[in-house]
A and B are shown apart, each in its own frame.
Chain A
């Protein structure tokens, strides 16, 4: 399998609580990453200078350095070999960082970005397992790294953030359907960013040759005179950061630092054109100078652009509510050390086991307690598949109870169905909590969900028949409607994914990205944030370019824009999710109507609500298809 990951590795399970509670001698911590990342190699860039001189990676952290902290975290995730690229005379400061860690460290001295890239190319060619490419001077939680390195579902991917971490200096990306379709570097722009790149890339062995090729190509580009537009793009970023720093100074304490979105770049451009001057304090000027000096030498971002432009499937692992920083001074390290303790790693692990885009009923009535059940199951050593199976059995029992047909049967069925649904939520949360992802388990979970639902339909129809009410036709209609609704979601997702994959990426020399209409539409998912207007930024997000469309052609685009405005109304998100009639709402509707009234009422409600959801869903997709 790609990435050297085995399927059911209880990979890098940092549920220390789970191991502890088991009471038995746990496996040695270095075995926890399993066969998982055992063959992974770290490729760390320690080329950024600290304010005080010397490499930022050698800034002190506790008894060691930033690099030592990162190596320790990576070693715990199975990275046993690390190559560190640094500037001349920095080896002495960096070498002790690996002492006693059980990581074989190799230092590579390089004079500048072009040489950095050549070293990366050489190492990528020699890579046998996964390659972890990262800045050597980032400060984050082990859990954040584990989310990327230990997830077998992401052969090649990045550590990303969709939230506002108050960091304009993080290069942006655009992600669609879980795939990074555009990435920025000092010299490359993202047309409509919706996420930020946090300086860690995992590259599968299959994609390593692409990485090597991109590195060589980039080396030749940064070596000579820069391609046209590159300097201008860097200048544009510098101006935008300047504006952001000024805005951050006056930002409201409670709102936090302003979100850095696409608008800043456009505004900076307009401001510069108008001859506007943004004044900064001395501190801010030095911060700007520091970041602007580091950006052009950021080969990690350049290489990400290289991978994306080569058409590589680059996935995302999100930071969630964990901490991330790239301090380039002692002062910055001290601040990071203070702030990182405000985050409870294990709390976040449990919270993020809950799917971000679940429906209303699941989110508010099941997940609040099911995540504790998931933790309990993890401590007992239950596997997600066992829970899936239990859920199916209870679901079938619910169907059998419904089939009895009398009031007691209907009430019992209703209760059993809710228990089955809770177990169904627990299995996924357990898998995410313990990172025990198995493809078979995921398939089983999906298929059993449908099996439970349709078995319950049959049970209800049987029960109604024995009570003298023939509702088989209604049951058949409900099954048809549900299958058709799923077919809509599957087909559209597939067509959309193929459209995204079919977008031609521009060559590396071009600062601008593909700017393809297909890449602008329907950023979905929990992190589609940049389209929302930041609180500190009262200007509306720029409207999508109309690209010479007729008035009639503009209608769907306008409709879609209105759709998104409604999205931003408080509470509208939940109303929309309820209208979409997800599984939690459906099972709740079945339980309530069957227990209180009759199977006939159940089917009528399912058909009415489901039809509304179908019409609503299709309307949205038709709008999107039209504005393509």
Chain B
């Protein structure tokens, strides 16, 4: 298992200023502390829709790499998006899922059938071009660059433990100023 923020720090070293990042809930709070940037697309509502927003972004900006940092609970609410993404097959979409086995932002309750759900298996069966699973930080550090260089849609699960206590100010994710900054950055570049 990897500590979530350690894992995201490794990922951040491989992200460029051109990339659009779509992080979800707990990962989003870690991510914006690690890598604040106007191309962090943070306002995607709820109920697991981040991967669908990311598909729209990937189709709308084929010149940019779109990286989703999903949650396992979130993806379970929108599993069909794996199939929709696979059919649309955007080459510029990379879909990470932080597997912590819980609905961490809603009290830390376990996801259904925790420990027995094969998320890379879902993605592979749905038709993603390639899938990966990481639970060791050193291995992730060695391979993340190659994963990001693959043609999408690419899926990678990250087995993580919580980063620690968070102050969750949701206006940092959903607030009008944040949304306006993201939209302006997307339209300006």
A binds B: no
